[in-house]
Structure 1
Amino acid sequence: MHEDFERCVRAVQAKDSRFDGWFFTAVLTTRIYCRPGCPAMPPKPENMTFYPSAAAAQQAGFRACKRCRPDASPGSPEWNVRADLVARAMRLIADGVVDREGVPGLAARLGYSTRQIERQLLAELGAGPLALARAQRAQTARLLIETSGLAMSDVAFAAGFASIRTFNDTVREVFALTPSELRVRARPAPHAHAARTPVAGSLSLRLPYRAPLCPDNLFGHLAATGVPGVEEWRDGAYRRTLRLPRGHGVVSLRPEADHIACRLSLTDWRDLSLAISRCRWLLDLDADPVAVDDQLRTDPLLAPYVDKAPGRRVPRTVDGAEFAVRVVLGQQVSTAAARTLAGRLVEAHGEAITDPDTHPDGGLTHLFPSPEALAALDPEALAMPRSRRATLTGLVAALAHGGIDLGVGADWDRAREQLAALPGIGPWSVESIAMRALGDPDAFLPSDLGVRLAARTLGLPATPAALTAHAALWRPWRAYAVQYLWATGDHPINLLPTNGN
């Protein structure tokens, strides 16, 4: 979009925050870059130039606006919609792969050479993988500087910088302030995107998103299907444990009027950027709800339900392998039975943790078992039908040995093929995993019972083949159409919880 000058100018002049993250506005006279929705007076069009990423603007010598904080805008929805190389690379960079494994690690995960990755990212985003990762480190550093009491040396390494000098130089270059000046500036009135927390050893922040957002199905689904010990709904917030590269964490996510309130407790602050990225992925916060709903409204049978509660998101997962295991546990059983089976698996084989926010009426006790831990189990110890036991053991073996990639940078088509090749993994399971683990916005479940009941209620074709043909109207957003179809039923997944689990 950044190449459409007139359209970008109109968005900036209208201060249209719907385009935040789609492109960045750089002002030639002030050498500052902003988000389209910046509340400041728009510059003259002849003084504007546009970039597809914050990293590209930074590389061109522009500093982040202190008022609109473009580094904290919602991410580009393009990376959630597309399945090509650039989109997969961007999802992996957001997941911290470059910081942990370098550009060669990124290239190896994608199956391309480092030169091919760099060339394609530069062509589309105006910045290579190192610059994109650097911009993310700068954003994480600012968050820690402004919202925590960590020493600056600890902030530097937690944000992923290799040295204090690089940290100081980057912060000064990107924000035109030293780290100490940033902290002093934030103390009198903490910024709207971050807030201090009363819980020791944790960090509170706001996760931005594009409006509208309907929290009912998003949090209702997560709470209704939550695995005891790993997830819970408490005091108006969804809480869960996180398995992270350097340790573990506990996150609390609460829907507010214009943001998601997020509180994170981590055993290693170097996992902060990744934890935030996974929380955004879980709640589908980088979606473009206006584009989605506009397309779904073209179907007159679906339009009234979109208008009734616009902005539905697809509830995802923080761990693709975990979700795939839970899909198998839930085959042909009720939601309650699936939760019970998963809870037993967690209690017996999950890694025990201590909840930093203890509570007499609840608490988180475990990380969900890793594929490696599950692959080592005696299949006979699993209390489930023999056929489903075989399906589960086949799945965890493939996940544990790298035979299937369900990470954020996975190739969607290849993952579908690999899943379908496993015994007991049918189309419903494949598409459920594609929707919530892989994040394919066009994943579709025509054989799902809830979808078929909703189709009958709305006057849509009831058979899977006929419904799939009709659903061509909804592409490429069929996963979102499923959320609207499910919302026609009377089920806890459609309701924002009011009490604990």
Structure 2
Amino acid sequence: MHQGMHTDTERCVRAVQSKDARFDGWFYTAVLTTGIYCRPSCPVVAPKPRNMVFHPSAAACQQAGFRACKRCRPDTSPGSPEWNHRADVVGRAMRLIADGTVDREGVPGLAARLGYSTRQIERQLLAELGAGPLALARAQRAQTARLLIETTALPMAEIAFASGFASIRAFNDTVREVYALTPTALRTRAPAPSSAPTASAGGTLTLRLPFRAPLNPDNLFGHLAATAVPGVEEWRDGAYRRTLRLPYGHGIAALTPHPDHIACRLTLTDLRDLPVAISRCRRMLDLDADPVAIDDQLRTDPLLAPLVDKAPGRRVPRTVDAAEFAVRAVLGQQVSTAAARTHAARLVTAHGERVTDPEGGLTHLFPSTEALAAVDPDALAMPKTRRTTLTTLITQLATGAIHLGVESDWPETRARLLALPGFGPWTADVIAMRALGDPDAFLPTDLGIRRAARDLGLPSTPAALTARASSWRPWRAYAVQYLWATDSHPINFLPT
């Protein structure tokens, strides 16, 4: 893979000279003669190789004194796919920083969640990313600030607050340092509204979420729409819409697939939640994946190759809330998609908080684990054994005995889930795949997978299929999407 790619100078130079967009977000090019840094695909004439140095993160470029290129806007490239598939502490730390942990809890909060000292975390991030957690969080704040400056008419003081800056002065200094422009100058330079994101009154923002091509939207949006819980999610006018429970308030996201981006419309009760809301939407749609690397690996199996060639770029549909997904996975055990939606909708109506949605039919946030922990088990209309499974899970989540955050240790969390009553491999693995984001989670006992395997001439018993799938690693969760897609189930099609 491309791990530590920025150290392979020759390969980086080739990527820059060919303006290869596949490497955007993998590394950044800093140009010694101009003092600016770019994405590999920057349209400007490539500098001489001796004038290029390569960094693993935008934060490292900023720390080395380089400013962001105004042409290619390197901080808007998709995030490094590395943080999605890496289970180590640096990968987990990067997922937490993207989720706003440093802004809310500081570096000590980040370290505590990972079970390391602040010094250990700082040392590891510096070694791999050329920047510590504060610099990485600051680069993210700068990016949020620029988005709000260019796309809203909000006063600068509000933008500073919404982007997570402690003071107006820190906001002004950072924007000037990173973009070599004052916030006001950045606003006057902003692109014309047709291509730029826009904001309207009432905390609604419209922006574009970039991704690495190809992206196949069918199973991604099909899955989310077909399993949508009434009141919390809906498919409306070509968009998947859902409510979001966020650190400072709540929001509604509307996501529409386009050939070269995902249109994202966010309505937030507190603008400080913007970076987290964007990060969660990107994560749910798996937008930081590297489809070329994944598909190349899966094509090495001659029986999978035709599926990949037919519709490349499948993503793993994930979730914006891991605890919610785990609860829904239990509600869906041994019942149809329709029955699972009905069970979930009952819980939502009884225990979710109400929200208003002037643009559609969303009515509630999915109930918090605290609210569910207070529910009388006898009030749950389901078989006794499944009720026990659900209430045990909820208790473990509410007490923190099991934590399903972005920083979860995948193997350890899976083992803890398997130890719960009523948790077999299928439930644990579907949670690992869609809630924890493990790209190698595999479902060899799933009926749809076994049927697809049999029809393709792959072994269909779980043990034999698992043995065959070892060549698909570390991307077995993506192989699952390709295998599921051989079925005519609505999860595989974009709703009309």
2:171 and 2:376 map into 1 onto residues whose CA distance is 49
Q: Is the 8 A contact 1:452 1:462 kept in 2?
A: yes
Q: Is the 8 A contact 2:203 2:269 kept in 1?
A: no
Residue 268 of structure 2 is matched in structure 1 by: 266
- Count of aligned residue pairs for this structure pair: 492
Give the AA of the match of 1:60. Answer: A
Q: Deviations over 1:18-51 (max 9, x none)?
A: 0000000000000000000111111010100000
1:198 Cα offset (Å): 5.8
Confirm or deny that 1:189 pairs with 2:187.
no
Residue 12 of structure 1 is matched in structure 2 by: 16
Q: Is the 8 A contact 1:85 1:110 kept in 2?
A: yes
Confirm or deny that 1:408 pairs with 2:406.
yes
1:191 Cα offset (Å): 8.0
2:33 and 2:275 map into 1 onto residues whose CA distance is 32
1:149 Cα offset (Å): 1.2
Residue 37 of structure 1 is matched in structure 2 by: 41
1:414 Cα offset (Å): 1.2
Q: Deviations over 1:89-132 (max 9, x none)?
A: 00000000000000000000000000000000000000000000
Give the AA of the match of 1:72. Answer: T
Query: 1:118-129 alignment to 2 at 5 Å?
Result: 118-129=122-133
Residue 294 of structure 1 is matched in structure 2 by: 296
Structure 1 residue corresponding to 2:309, chosen from 302, 307, 310: 307
Residue 496 of structure 1 is matched in structure 2 by: 494
1:357 Cα offset (Å): 1.6
Query: 1:402-481 alignment to 2 at 5 Å?
Result: 402-481=400-479
Give the AA of the match of 1:275. Answer: A
Residue 201 of structure 1 is matched in structure 2 by: 203
Residue 91 of structure 1 is matched in structure 2 by: 95
Q: Which runs of 5+ in 2 are unaligned?
A: none
Residue 240 of structure 1 is matched in structure 2 by: 242
Q: Please state whether the residue corresponding to 1:347 is helix, strand or coil.
A: helix
Q: Provide the alpha-carbon RMSD of the alignment.
A: 0.9
Structure 1 residue corresponding to 2:161, chosen from 144, 157, 160: 157
Q: Is the 8 A contact 1:441 1:478 kept in 2?
A: yes
1:411 and 1:205 map into 2 onto residues whose CA distance is 32
Structure 1 residue corresponding to 2:173, chosen from 169, 193, 207: 169
TM-score (norm 2): 0.98
Q: Percent identity?
A: 79
Q: Is the 8 A contact 1:33 1:64 kept in 2?
A: yes
1:190 Cα offset (Å): 3.8
Q: Please state whether the residue corresponding to 1:203 is helix, strand or coil.
A: strand
Residue 108 of structure 2 is matched in structure 1 by: 104
Q: Please state whether the residue corresponding to 1:440 is helix, strand or coil.
A: coil
Q: Is the 8 A contact 2:353 2:367 kept in 1?
A: yes
Confirm or deny that 1:217 pairs with 2:219.
yes
1:365 and 1:492 map into 2 onto residues whose CA distance is 24
Confirm or deny that 1:388 pairs with 2:386.
yes
Q: Please state whether the residue corresponding to 2:166 is helix, strand or coil.
A: coil
1:198 and 1:71 map into 2 onto residues whose CA distance is 24
Q: Please state whether the residue corresponding to 2:320 is helix, strand or coil.
A: coil
Q: Is the 8 A contact 2:397 2:403 kept in 1?
A: yes
1:200 Cα offset (Å): 4.8
Q: Is the 8 A contact 1:146 1:190 kept in 2?
A: no
Q: Is the 8 A contact 1:207 1:280 kept in 2?
A: yes
1:201 and 1:159 map into 2 onto residues whose CA distance is 14
Give the AA of the match of 1:318. Answer: V
Q: Please state whether the residue corresponding to 1:22 is helix, strand or coil.
A: coil
Q: Is the 8 A contact 1:241 1:367 kept in 2?
A: yes
1:197 Cα offset (Å): 4.8
Q: Is the 8 A contact 2:152 2:199 kept in 1?
A: no
Q: Deviations over 1:170-221 (max 9, x none)?
A: 00000011000111111x61484x4225675300000000000000000000
Q: Please state whether the residue corresponding to 2:6 is helix, strand or coil.
A: coil
Q: Is the 8 A contact 1:265 1:356 kept in 2?
A: no
Q: Which runs of 5+ in 1 are unaligned?
A: none
